[in-house]
């Protein structure tokens, strides 16, 4: 076995996005490449294979998950190329042999992907992504697929619980300072997919056309000799429609100073500490008494879905959420796996394969997916369609009771760009809204319970 080397570190620009040309090929684990090397040597690299992404269980207390990151994954797939820089590093590090380097130099994913539309809810065993191609070209994508979908879906799943608890009040994402700089961009995007109205992250706004929000922190108030001059300066720069942070010193005095600076046309005040429910009641009364009936109240300060739900009766107009949303509110991953479920046999046909390890059993064979709905239009079952490969591949629901869940994402290596960029985010947000509305009553409760609908199997005949 070749001993791992200690290569020279690559010092380069890692801040550019995939659209700007940065390769995503080394956002992977070493064993993906060493498997390709071994498969190239024994002649199995070109075997046709089907991989499936799913989760065996939802995090404790969650009744549904939300798929997010599909558009980001497709953008990164376009950038999954081994350029001279990546190949030179792999050679220097002696990760794989020369024949594998030659293969990687010409690597392009030429297979297909189908999956749940981004924004769709999912349940245990839901085949949220199906990747088909040769073993060598499909296995290389495992780490990238899982790192994107696990994180983005964890954020979106938490964000959906928050926007559900908020009902019609907007949630605003402001967690960049609690995440890796690139994770912050991904988290902002995933939160908007799940219904957040905007983000504080400017790069997310630039890449994905998201609404950006933010005015001032306590530091701006502390910079000035007193609160009144700080508020006056902010209003002079940003106008009376700005949001003034009124809890640096005394909240009641802060509200009075805010009104003195901006008048009753003040856009909003923000509360970032204390008993937010009580303070919101007091501030609303003070604003109304002064005639500032249109001035909104935004609350922040370590909010999560439970805190948002607890503020349902308070006169709050918007919620700013940071740490909890970018960390998945206690569930920072969805536990998704990327498993080989079918591979080309000696006769050229695809044969089901499955892992049989205790507690990690998988179901072999290609699967289609659908959601069964009751007479009221609400979901009653997640349906996995299994059977002979050619039957599953051509399956479509008969009638309106079942709604097919798989949509085409990549065909013969060509990415459907409708799922990427700003338009992809808008499309995913619409899909999430419709999908969540389809859940049975009670599915959005925050109390611990089982998955909102059971997962069943529909076996097609031979």
Of the pLDDT bands very low, low, confident and very high (cuts 50, 70, 90), residue 18 is very low
Domain 157-330 has CATH 3.30.70.580: no
pLDDT digits (tens, 9 = 90+) for 147-193: 999 999 999 999 999 999 999 999 999 999 999 999 999 999 999 99
382, 422, 152, 437: CA torsion to nearest 10: -30
Structure token pair of residue 94: 């002696």
The pLDDT score that the predictor gives to residue 402 is 95
Structure token pair of residue 370: 């659908």
Kindly tell me if the per-residue pLDDT of 6 is higher than 80. no
Averaged pLDDT, 427-434: 98
Domain with CATH 3.20.140.10 in the chain: 18-140+335-364+404-452
Query: Sign of dihedral through CA atoms 283, 288, 291, 294?
Result: positive
The pLDDT score that the predictor gives to residue 400 is 84
Q: For the domain bounded by 18-140+335-364+404-452, which CATH number is listed? A: 3.20.140.10
Q: What is the DSSP string of 257-320?
A: HHHHHHGGG--EEEE-SS-HHHHHHHHHHHHHHTT-TT-EEEE-SS--HHHHHHTTTS---EEE
pTM of the model: 0.93
Domain with CATH 3.20.20.70 in the chain: 157-330
- Count CB-CB contacts under 10 A for residue 338: 19
The pLDDT score that the predictor gives to residue 356 is 72
Averaged pLDDT, 49-77: 96
The pLDDT score that the predictor gives to residue 217 is 97
């Amino acid at each position: 076995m070749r001993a791992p080397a200690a290569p020279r570190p690559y010092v380069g620009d890692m801040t550019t996005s995939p659209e700007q040309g940065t390769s995503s090929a080394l956002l992977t684990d070493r064993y993906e490449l060493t498997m390709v090397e071994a498969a190239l040597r024994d002649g199995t690299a070109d075997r046709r294979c089907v991989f499936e992404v799913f989760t065996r269980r939802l995090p404790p207390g969650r009744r549904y998950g939300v798929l997010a990151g599909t558009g980001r994954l497709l953008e990164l797939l376009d950038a999954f190329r081994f350029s001279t820089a990546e190949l030179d590093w792999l050679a220097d590090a002696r990760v794989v042999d020369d024949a594998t380097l030659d293969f990687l130099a010409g690597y392009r994913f030429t297979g297909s992907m189908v999956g749940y539309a981004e924004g769709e809810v999912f349940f245990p065993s839901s085949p949220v992504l199906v990747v088909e191609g040769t073993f060598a070209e499909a296995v290389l994508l495992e780490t990238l697929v899982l790192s994107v979908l696990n994180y983005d879906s964890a954020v979106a799943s938490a964000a959906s619980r928050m926007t559900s608890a908020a009902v019609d009040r907007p949630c605003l994402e402001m967690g960049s300072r609690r995440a890796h700089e690139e994770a912050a961009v991904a988290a902002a995007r995933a939160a908007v997919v799940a219904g957040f109205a905007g983000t504080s992250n400017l790069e997310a706004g630039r890449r994905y056309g998201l609404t950006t929000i933010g005015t001032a922190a306590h530091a701006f108030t502390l910079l000035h000799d007193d609160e009144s001059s700080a508020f006056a300066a902010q209003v002079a720069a940003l106008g009376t429609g700005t949001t003034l942070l009124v809890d640096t010193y005394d909240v009641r005095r802060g509200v009075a100073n805010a009104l003195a600076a901006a008048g009753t046309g003040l856009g909003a005040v923000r509360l970032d500490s204390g008993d937010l429910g009580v303070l919101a009641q007091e501030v609303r009364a003070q604003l109304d008494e002064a005639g500032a009936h249109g001035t909104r109240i935004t609350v922040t300060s370590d909010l999560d879905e439970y805190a948002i739900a607890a503020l349902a009766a308070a006169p709050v107009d918007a919620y700013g959420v940071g740490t909890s949303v970018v960390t998945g509110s206690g569930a920072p991953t969805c536990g998704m796996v990327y498993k080989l479920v079918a591979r080309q046999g000696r006769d050229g046909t695809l044969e089901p394969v499955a892992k049989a390890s205790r507690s990690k059993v998988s179901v072999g064979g290609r699967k289609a997916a659908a959601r069964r709905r009751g007479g009221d239009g609400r979901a009653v079952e997640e349906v996995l369609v299994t059977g002979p490969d050619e039957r599953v591949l051509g399956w479509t629901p008969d009638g309106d009771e079942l709604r097919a869940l798989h949509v085409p994402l990549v065909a013969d290596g060509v990415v459907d760009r409708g799922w990427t960029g700003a338009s992809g985010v808008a499309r995913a947000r619409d899909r999430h809204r419709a999908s969540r509305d389809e859940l049975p009553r009670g599915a959005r409760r925050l109390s611990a319970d089982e998955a909102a609908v059971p997962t069943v199997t529909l076996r097609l005949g031979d």
